[in-house]
């Protein structure tokens, strides 16, 4: 019997990998397209730099292409992809000789009077209740700056859990640490954010 025809767009990631290994070359393009928004978002949040995120994204898929032989077919593709991307991002930061939180002072925003202000000062000045004075874009920047101010390990765990939607077990695989450590890092990240945002966060009108 012939295998039932199924458009590539509807194939699971693991099926696409199998098809690519069997010579269906365009399956690779489908994977890149499927993940390009999600993974780019992860890298930009983590690196805090759009150009670096673009470069690391491309390197990630080049690595995926080069390392497909090492990929174990019975394991889910998504955590493996995040593992490759995370290693690439860490390497890129080491090469650039910086920690991502440094970029807080690099990202500059035009203040209300036209002056340039760093996001660090935004976090400091906006607390405790940004909902009083900030519009939607400013709130977004304020949250991004708060997350960027977290220590690297806590920040990465928070991004993978909250923004990327990976489960505890998957995050542990991506970061190569025990699940218990993932849990304690996420807890610590939220406690720190809570401190930054103060107890009045509960009064804010969220859009979620």
Partner 1 sequence: MHEADLIGYLLNLLDEEEKHRVASSLAQSEQLQARLQHWQTVVQPLGWDREHPSPPQDLLIATLLRVARYRVEQEQASSPAGTEGPAALPDRGPAPTFSLRAGLRRRIDLVIAVAIVLLVTLLIPPLVLEARQQYHELLCRNNLRQFHSALVQYESRYKERPGPEREGPLAWAGVYACQLREAGLLSADVTVVCPARPMPAPDIPSCKQLGTASADQLAKWRREAGGCYGYYLGYMENNELRRLSRRVLEKCCDSVNLGEIPVMADRPPRRSELPLGNGNSPNHNQRGQNVLFYGGHVRFVTSCRIGTDHIYLNRDGRCAAGLSPDDAVLAPSEMPPLP
For residues 62 and 188, the answer to whether their CB atoms sit within 8 Å is no
- Give the shortest CB-208-to-partner 1 separation in angstroms: 3
Cβ neighbours of residue 198 closer than 8 Å, sequence gap 6 or more = 127, 128, 129
By CB under 8 A, tell whether 149 contacts partner 1: no
**Number of neighbours of residue 81 by Cβ within 10 angstroms:** 22
Contact pattern from residue 113 through residue 142 relative to partner 1, giving x for each residue in contact according to CB under 8 A and a dash for the rest? --xx-------------------x--xx-x
The stretch near partner 1 (CB under 8 A) out of 40-48, 71-79, 83-91, 117-125 is: 40-48
DSSP state of 109: E
For residues 147 and 119, the answer to whether their CB atoms sit within 8 Å is no
Query: CA-CA distances (angstroms) from residue 154 to 26, 59, 74, 85, 150?
Result: 37, 24, 30, 17, 6
Q: How far apart are CA 28 and CA 161, in angstroms?
A: 26
Query: CA-CA distances (angstroms) from residue 146 to 73, 141, 161?
Result: 39, 8, 16
Cβ neighbours of residue 133 closer than 8 Å, sequence gap 6 or more = 126
By CB under 8 A, tell whether 36 contacts partner 1: yes
By CB under 8 A, tell whether 102 contacts partner 1: no
Sole binder of partner 1 in the list 12, 29, 76, 91 (CB under 8 A): 29
The stretch near partner 1 (CB under 8 A) out of 65-73, 76-84, 85-93, 97-105 is: 65-73
By CB under 8 A, tell whether 178 contacts partner 1: no
The stretch near partner 1 (CB under 8 A) out of 71-79, 80-88, 97-105, 159-167 is: 159-167
**Number of neighbours of residue 29 by Cβ within 10 angstroms:** 12
Sole binder of partner 1 in the list 10, 22, 97, 113 (CB under 8 A): 22
Q: Which residues bind partner 1 (CB under 8 A)?
A: 8-9, 20-26, 28-30, 32-33, 36-38, 40-42, 44-45, 50-51, 54, 57-59, 61-62, 65-66, 68, 106, 108, 115-116, 136, 139-140, 142-144, 146-147, 161-163, 165-169, 171, 183-184, 186-187, 190, 193-194, 197, 201-202, 204, 206-208
């Amino acid at each position: 019997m012939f295998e039932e025809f199924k458009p590539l767009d509807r194939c699971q990631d693991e099926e696409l990998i199998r098809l690519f290994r069997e010579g269906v070359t365009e399956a690779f393009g489908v994977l890149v397209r499927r993940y390009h928004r999600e993974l780019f978002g992860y890298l930009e949040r983590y690196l805090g730099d759009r150009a670096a995120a673009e470069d690391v994204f491309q390197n990630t898929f080049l690595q995926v292409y080069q390392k497909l032989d090492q990929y174990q077919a019975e394991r889910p593709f998504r955590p493996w992809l995040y593992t490759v991307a995370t290693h690439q991002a860490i390497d890129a930061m080491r090469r650039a000789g910086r920690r991502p939180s440094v970029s807080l002072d690099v990202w500059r925003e035009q203040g209300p009077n036209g002056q340039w202000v760093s996001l660090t000062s935004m976090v400091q000045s906006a607390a405790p209740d940004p909902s009083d004075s900030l519009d939607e874009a400013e709130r977004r920047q304020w949250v991004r700056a708060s997350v960027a101010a977290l220590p690297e390990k806590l920040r990465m765990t928070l991004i993978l859990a909250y923004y990327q939607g990976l489960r505890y077990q998957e995050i542990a695989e991506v970061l190569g640490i025990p699940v218990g450590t993932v849990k304690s890092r996420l807890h610590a990240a939220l406690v720190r954010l809570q401190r930054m945002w103060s107890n009045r966060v509960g009064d804010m009108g969220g859009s979620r």
